Structure 1
Amino acid sequence: MKRMKVSKDAYIEKNDTDLLKRMSFRYLPYWPLFLAAVIVSFAVGLVYLEYTAPIYGVTASILVKDEKKGLDDSKAEDALNFFGEKKIVENEIEVIHSRSMVSQMVTHLYLYAPIEEKSGFIYRTVHLPVSVYRSAYLTSPVQIELEKPEELHYEVNRVKFRYDAHTQTVITSNATYPLNKWTASPWGRIRFSKNPLATTSVPSKTFFFSLVSLPKATNEIQNNLEVSPTSKLSTVINISYKDAVPARGEAIINELINCYTQASINDKAAAAANTLDFVEKRLKLSGKQLDDVEADVQSFRTANGIVNVSQQSNQYLQNVSANDQKISEMDIQLSVLNQIESYVLSKQSQPGLVPSTLGIKDPMLTQLLDKLYEAEIQYEKLRKTTAEENPILLSVKNEIAKIKPNVLENVRNQRNSILAAKDKLVATSSHYNDLLNTLPDREKELAKISRQQNIENSIYSFLLQKKEEASLAFNAAVAGSKIIDKAQSSAQPVSPRAWLICLIALVLPIVFVSFSIDAREFFSNKVLFRRTIEELTVLPIIGELGYKRSKEMLVVRKHSRTAITEQFRSLRSSVASSLLKEKGKVIMVTSSMAIEGKSFVAINLAVVFAQAGKRTVLIEADMYKPKLSAALHLNDETGLSDVLETDQPSSILESCIYRTATYNNLFIIPAGNAPSNPSELLMNSNFDILMKELENQFDIIIIDSVPINPVPDAYTICKFATLTLFVVRHGITPKEKLLIIDEDPKMQDLKNVHIVFNGIRRRGIATSGFGHSYGYGHNGKEGYGYYGHQRAKTVLS
């Protein structure tokens, strides 16, 4: 015989298809729950989008002149920038983001006194309206200023007020405040002024103002403020801020840049002012000395009638004048060196303004002083933004400590050099004095006075030049940074994003419901899946029965083609095959508990055997809680207990076997009158006689036994059974009951045990039919070939 050809791809597993099937099998039955969760999630998302203020992103950028990254001033700026400092981008970022800088900006913009207005109501689950507030930065007619905001150490939350435009007053519940005047209030001296940004005004509209402590307002701004370089090699700093009001965000960044720029200018102006003050003091002293010398010259000429001196005297005076000028410059240099030395020795590692190096031409000293100044400025900035034990701060402090000895050594070396040169000049001056002795006494006296006049005049001219330079530097102080882009807000909100909220509203409920389904099934201690039975015990599953909603026990009827009927017929085929292999006819039905449906399985299995033409007898061996008698309308009839209690069981056996009215081949032995000792009755010899008689009369014997726990009757009856059907009910039988089946030694006494999985429900919500979502049985309530009365078809032969 030729075998049918099979495609070579017939057994290739497609992972993607299998995964989709597994997901559909697991979650699709719960589609109404998923749909409801998604709808609720979208509703929550829409409410969130409706009542959440959109957040806009505001950005700006500035250029910092960092010598380490190749950026320097232009020649024109460098000529005016006598006291310019070199900046490091990383340090400037910390300065911009520092508490002191942000606090200064908060004070300037009055951000510690936000004003709000109502924007509507939302309703919570308790159906109480809850007010929603939004910022009135652009709609409030007034703005609020505290005289000493740093002294406010508590919060004032939403004080109601309104503005009266006719009387120019602000009215609260407790007081009335005039406009543009400092007034005492419970929160300190306060002033209300017109808001220059107000675009619209509604008469008598109610607003709410709050007062926040300066540290808290500063921290809130710092948390939303980001300052970062564009790249590692760039000197451009990006400043970004997020705010619900774009205009307020732009004002915050612009004011922060202004505060930073002004602080840089103030540092340079302070250095120039220090030098200017020093020069002006020297100018006053030199001017007084020059006036005294000129008065002496004039007095001498007048007293002695001298108008001109000889050519020799002129040459002498020129030489002496040049020599004395050099000595005077050296005196100034010594004075400057003394001041520098005094500065270094007196500061004790405290930052301050380095004195001017007027007249000192040594580039090494100038460079050391510049480094000292930059290090002290950096130390001062870092001390404001970092802790005392910060490694960077300690490094800068150590650098200052290393620079100062070098400055002192350089100063002392230069002093020694200048003193040596001065000694030589003094010796030369002595030589000129000797020459002066050869001149006439009057010319000699005049030459001395004129020489002093030239000296003072040269000193005065030199100081005037330095004063002009310092004045120019003071008035032309420029910042060490340049604004590239002013603050500008984004056209669209950066938060919340509608597409992201919609995506979350779609994904989150699906994930949550899926997790809930998995968690519910994973943590359940009840048997829910066939695979659970297969994992917990080695006993085979002989049949599966769907869940019935009705409480009626007998569900198999004549000419019935329902799904549950077909399942019992399928169970009948499996049981009959097992009985044929074992060459027996006795079936015992038991379970672990009383509510798992053993009686339901026993009576309907007996019906389908009777429908197949088998003489079937159903024994109601559960004398504790008999149910079969009531289902077949047998009340107060003699039964099993009467047979077991009599001395001649054969004589009354026929009277205890009842034929059912519906099925001619189905007979039943009811439990009979309730005995006081069911276990002992089942152990006597009458039960052996009963079973032998029934085996001779019937084709199938079905015993509805008691559960295996807590009474041992099932183990007493099991010796007569050819096949034991152990009923496990979906969602009822605990998993631990299955675990003990393989471990309990008494279970070994049961013969040929097979499991019937009973009461299988469909997974999910708003579903019908039996067990399709578990992969078992039929998908509908109707069996194969069943059409109902309206759709009946003729079967053609």
Structure 2
Amino acid sequence: MSKEPVYLDDQLEDDIHLRDLVEKYLRHWKWFVVGVFVSVIAAFFYLKYSIPVFRTEASIVIKEEDNGGMASQLSALQDIGMLGSMGGASVENEVEILRSKRLLQKVVKELGLNVSYYVEDGIKTKEVYSNIPFYVKVLKYNDQVNLPEVMPEEPYVFTLINDNEIKIDNGEEQQKYQLGSKIILPFAEIMVVPNIVKKKQLMVDSNRFLVRFNTIEGAAIGLEETIQVSLADKNATVINLGLEHPVKRKAQDILNELVNQYNEDAIIDNNLVSKNTAEFIDERLKIIGSELDSVETNKVSFKTENKLTDIEAESVLFLENVNEVSKRHLELATQMEVTNTMIAYLQEGDNSKLLPTNLSGQESEGMSELINTYNTLVIQHNEMLKNSSEKNPVVKNINSQIDQLRSTVLNGLETQKTGLRIAMSDLRRQEAMMDKKIAKVPGKEKEFRGIERQQSIKEALYLYLLQKREEASINMAVTAPKAKIVDYANSTIKPVAPKKMIVLGGAFLMGLLIPFLVIYVGDVLNNKIVTRKDIERALPSLPIIGELPSLGDKEDKTIAEDDRSVLAEAFRILRTNLQYMFVNHHKEDGAKTILVTSTTKGEGKSLVSSNLAVTLADTKKKVVLIGADLRNPQLKQYIQHNKRQTGLSNYLYNEDIELDEIINPSGLKQNLDMISSGSIPPNPAELLMGEKIGVFFEELKKRYDYVVIDSAPLLLVTDTFLINKYADVTVYVMRSGYAESKFTDFVADTIKQKKLDKVAMVLNDVSMANFGYGNKYGYNYGGEKDSMLTKIKKVFIRS
């Protein structure tokens, strides 16, 4: 398989294009230096007057709840699919709680962050936080106004006059107030209280402060946007807190207070179970106490009515036999009462209510663990509802888990109840057999024994509930914080912003980028012909025989005797290159006729034609310059002559005028003559179409060595096309920065239609930076006639 050949010319061309692109920007290196200098100076001022920002960090670890032996039972239930994914509060949930507006609003209220204080330090305004002469407390916001809209954008100015007075300036008026008095502002009622710290201990040596107000909600939103809460590791329970703020002490207090509020909130949540249990026990104690009082009253009434004193002494033998059965019956009755109560409580189906714990006795420890799990899920459910709704997928998942666990607990309690019922039924059968044996016991004694049994059951249950209430109270008293502080809030020694090297580096790049973009955008938006390469790309088949430098307003635009200026040298180069256009010209053909034209006016064709004629005359050849632009002649700007003298238009119009009558000396060279355009005719095109124009050129070619024609612009009139046939070479002038790029299409179309022949391009008014091929080598001629502007250009080019 053959490989495609590599063309070295194409590769060289790409290299040249890349080099040209680089040189185009390097040509403006001074702008890049200025841009970098200005940007770096601006960066230094920014670093000097910007307020440094420090990073403050704290870390906490979330304690795992100790559920004892519940884990194995829960894992067994999960394995058989009876419970969903259950467990303690996930660390991700705690992260969201730490970010919640509810906690942040508590932090704002506790630290008074809805009011900020600033002092002016030169052109900087710095925030101050602690150890200031006074504090502003917002007593009440005005509920009748929309607070976020009326909070003042401009700060209030508080000036401490003395230890008892303060002056407040809101930008419109000033007013004095007593410290400690109520002050009415448009958006709130405030009070200014003095700081109890001694004045010599104050860190801020100023009595004038700028005070900004905000709402509690607005300040909390601001904290939410700036505080970062993240996990130290996805498998860890350590949470990192971060805050970037210019005041270290304030940032430290915010993070520490956030942890404190989180712990207080967690303690309140943890106490909900114990509190609910205590309330449930109190309600049951009232009921059991009332029932116990009723039984004791019945016992007293029974003894009084039947005049009984010592029934037990009369039935010692019977009680010894039934003692064991009664004891067992008492235990079962107690458990049945507790079980029925729990079942009724669960059947209410409220997912937000906690279950009482530790009420099931020694034989129901597994059920107690399930109740603990149920309460944990209820707490999570209530916590999530503070920041979400019932439609949240996480809340729905927790509700599903609670429902499943409630069903499991109910099933367990029902099973336990059935077992108790069977055991009690068995005891009743035993009691029935024993009752037959004591049938002879008097009925009153039997009735009295039933009353005492009821009394014993109620007393046992009452004492049991009292014990559990004490346990719940103890749990509330010893509740530990949920978050353990690993590191208290600590701030960095060095500021994290602004970063000096990054700012300076960015300024340096910006200083390079701005000039680059300006040059690039200017190049993209430019629709003008600027350099010879613009012509070469659009008209590759046309030769460019010369480039003429840009001239200042005060510089001479006509070549003088022995002129060594850049303009003169440029025309000498043009003259030399022009000779290659006459390779096929023979002496018998007569004078070499050169027609100078352009696309539109103002491109310098008159300058080119006049100076080209002068340059050709320097070769000791006879030259005649013809002003063939009959509509807007401009040769007078370069060669002085009387505009009213007889010229070409007069010669073509009047048959009586001979050629010698319109030929005049130029006054610049002895061998340079000039034929002016003459009077401006109403029909120049018709004159140029006449037969006399051919005779005119034929005669001139016999008399002179060179005939230079200054013609009219091609795009505007047809005059030049009419006389182009008499020219041997057409010099087409385009002005740099003036001629539009689309003019090259006009030139191409004109040549394609054979309206012009033997065309050579000249680029006029080229800046010194673009002169030649970018004026890479800075080669330049100069003489005594160089103006100061030209000399300055030379210095810039050589640099």
**TM-score, length basis structure 2:** 0.82
Match of 2:24 in 1: 26
Match of 1:428 in 2: 430
Question: Aligned AA for 1:113?
Answer: V
3-state SS of paired residue (2:355): coil
Deviation larger for 368-377 or 271-280: 368-377
Q: Counterparts of 2:282 and 2:629 in 1: how far apart (Å)? A: 122
Question: Aligned AA for 1:532?
Answer: D
Question: Aligned AA for 1:527?
Answer: I
Q: Which runs of 5+ in 2 are unaligned?
A: 1-7, 72-85, 788-799
Match of 1:633 in 2: 640
User: Is this contact kept in 2: 1:313–1:443, CA < 8 A?
Assistant: no
Deviation per residue, 1:610-630 (Å, 9 max, x gap) = 223333222221233333345
2:713 corresponds to which of 700, 707, 710: 707
Match of 1:216 in 2: 218
User: Is this contact kept in 2: 1:177–1:183, CA < 8 A?
Assistant: no
Q: Counterparts of 2:13 and 2:680 in 1: how far apart (Å)? A: 60
Q: Counterparts of 2:786 and 2:736 in 1: how far apart (Å)? A: 29
3-state SS of paired residue (1:748): coil
Q: 1:164 to 1:562 in 2, by over 3 A?
A: closer
Match of 1:748 in 2: 754
2:652 corresponds to which of 644, 668, 674: 644
Tell me how far 1:576 sits from its aligned partner.
Answer: 0.5
Deviation per residue, 1:425-444 (Å, 9 max, x gap) = 33333334444446799987
Question: Aligned AA for 1:107?
Answer: K
User: Is this contact kept in 2: 1:64–1:87, CA < 8 A?
Assistant: no
Deviation larger for 449-458 or 501-510: 449-458
3-state SS of paired residue (2:122): strand
1:167 corresponds to which of 156, 164, 169: 164
Q: 1:176 to 1:642 in 2, by over 3 A?
A: closer
1:200-279 aligned within 5 A: 200=202, 205-279=207-281
User: Is this contact kept in 1: 2:322–2:434, CA < 8 A?
Assistant: no
Q: Does 1:738 align with 2:744?
A: yes
RMSD, matched Cα = 4.0
Q: 1:436 to 1:285 in 2, by over 3 A?
A: farther
Deviation per residue, 1:741-778 (Å, 9 max, x gap) = 22358962111112111111145xxxxxx626x52587
User: Is this contact kept in 2: 1:521–1:528, CA < 8 A?
Assistant: no
Deviation larger for 469-478 or 278-287: 278-287
Q: Counterparts of 2:391 and 2:16 in 1: how far apart (Å)? A: 62
3-state SS of paired residue (1:581): coil
Question: Aligned AA for 2:336?
Answer: D
1:82-101 aligned within 5 A: 86-101=88-103
User: Is this contact kept in 2: 1:610–1:665, CA < 8 A?
Assistant: yes
Question: Aligned AA for 1:656?
Answer: I
Tell me how far 1:395 sits from its aligned partner.
Answer: 3.5
Match of 1:495 in 2: 497
Residue identity (%): 27
Tell me how far 1:274 sits from its aligned partner.
Answer: 1.6
3-state SS of paired residue (2:268): helix
Match of 1:352 in 2: 353
Q: 1:14 to 1:756 in 2, by over 3 A?
A: closer
Match of 2:774 in 1: 775
Match of 1:562 in 2: 565
Q: Does 1:341 align with 2:350?
A: no
Q: Does 1:580 align with 2:583?
A: yes
Q: Does 1:761 align with 2:761?
A: no
1:9-48 aligned within 5 A: 21-22=19-20, 24-48=22-46
Q: Counterparts of 1:376 and 1:63 in 2: how far apart (Å)? A: 23
Deviation per residue, 1:29-82 (Å, 9 max, x gap) = 3334333433443344344334433222221112124xxxxx554989x9xxxx
Match of 2:335 in 1: 330
1:545 corresponds to which of 545, 548, 553: 548
3-state SS of paired residue (1:471): helix
Question: Aligned AA for 2:774?
Answer: G
Question: Aligned AA for 1:61?
Answer: S
3-state SS of paired residue (2:563): coil
Match of 1:4 in 2: none
Deviation per residue, 1:380-426 (Å, 9 max, x gap) = 33333235544334443444455444444444444333333332333
User: Is this contact kept in 2: 1:119–1:134, CA < 8 A?
Assistant: yes
Q: 1:287 to 1:390 in 2, by over 3 A?
A: closer
Q: Does 1:681 align with 2:687?
A: yes
Q: Counterparts of 1:168 and 1:759 in 2: how far apart (Å)? A: 76
Question: Aligned AA for 2:641?
Answer: L
Q: Does 1:304 align with 2:296?
A: no
User: Is this contact kept in 1: 2:569–2:781, CA < 8 A?
Assistant: no
1:722 corresponds to which of 715, 728, 741: 728
Match of 1:418 in 2: 420
3-state SS of paired residue (1:724): strand
Q: Counterparts of 1:176 and 1:716 in 2: how far apart (Å)? A: 96
Q: Counterparts of 1:325 and 1:628 in 2: how far apart (Å)? A: 136
Tell me how far 1:590 sits from its aligned partner.
Answer: 0.1
Match of 1:52 in 2: 50
Question: Aligned AA for 2:425?
Answer: D
3-state SS of paired residue (2:490): strand
Q: 1:626 to 1:305 in 2, by over 3 A?
A: closer
1:274-673 aligned within 5 A: 274-283=276-285, 304=309, 312-313=317-318, 315-316=320-321, 318-344=323-349, 347=350, 349=351, 351-356=352-357, 358-359=359-360, 361-362=363-364, 365-366=367-368, 369-386=371-388, 389-437=391-439, 454-456=456-458, 458-538=460-540, 539-550=542-553, 554-581=557-584, 583=586, 585-635=592-642, 636-647=644-655, 652-673=658-679
**TM-score, length basis structure 1:** 0.83
Q: 1:416 to 1:89 in 2, by over 3 A?
A: same
Q: 1:707 to 1:355 in 2, by over 3 A?
A: same
Q: Counterparts of 1:16 and 1:252 in 2: how far apart (Å)? A: 62
Q: Counterparts of 1:658 and 1:407 in 2: how far apart (Å)? A: 127
3-state SS of paired residue (1:749): coil
Match of 1:145 in 2: 137
Q: 1:536 to 1:12 in 2, by over 3 A?
A: closer
Tell me how far 1:607 sits from its aligned partner.
Answer: 2.2
Q: Counterparts of 1:759 and 1:462 in 2: how far apart (Å)? A: 112
User: Is this contact kept in 2: 1:437–1:444, CA < 8 A?
Assistant: no
Tell me how far 1:257 sits from its aligned partner.
Answer: 1.2
User: Is this contact kept in 2: 1:544–1:777, CA < 8 A?
Assistant: no
User: Is this contact kept in 1: 2:228–2:243, CA < 8 A?
Assistant: yes
Question: Aligned AA for 2:108?
Answer: V
3-state SS of paired residue (1:57): strand
Q: 1:437 to 1:682 in 2, by over 3 A?
A: same
Question: Aligned AA for 1:641?
Answer: S
Q: Counterparts of 1:545 and 1:188 in 2: how far apart (Å)? A: 77
Aligned residue pairs, count = 744
Q: 1:239 to 1:14 in 2, by over 3 A?
A: farther
User: Is this contact kept in 2: 1:525–1:735, CA < 8 A?
Assistant: yes
User: Is this contact kept in 2: 1:715–1:746, CA < 8 A?
Assistant: no
3-state SS of paired residue (1:594): coil
Tell me how far 1:707 sits from its aligned partner.
Answer: 0.9
User: Is this contact kept in 1: 2:596–2:731, CA < 8 A?
Assistant: yes
User: Is this contact kept in 2: 1:724–1:750, CA < 8 A?
Assistant: yes
Deviation per residue, 1:329-353 (Å, 9 max, x gap) = 2233234323432442xx2x5x233
Q: Does 1:691 align with 2:689?
A: no
Match of 1:6 in 2: none
3-state SS of paired residue (1:304): coil
User: Is this contact kept in 2: 1:563–1:778, CA < 8 A?
Assistant: no
Question: Aligned AA for 2:764?
Answer: N
Q: 1:575 to 1:102 in 2, by over 3 A?
A: same
Tell me how far 1:736 sits from its aligned partner.
Answer: 2.3
Q: Counterparts of 2:431 and 2:615 in 1: how far apart (Å)? A: 145
Tell me how far 1:504 sits from its aligned partner.
Answer: 2.4
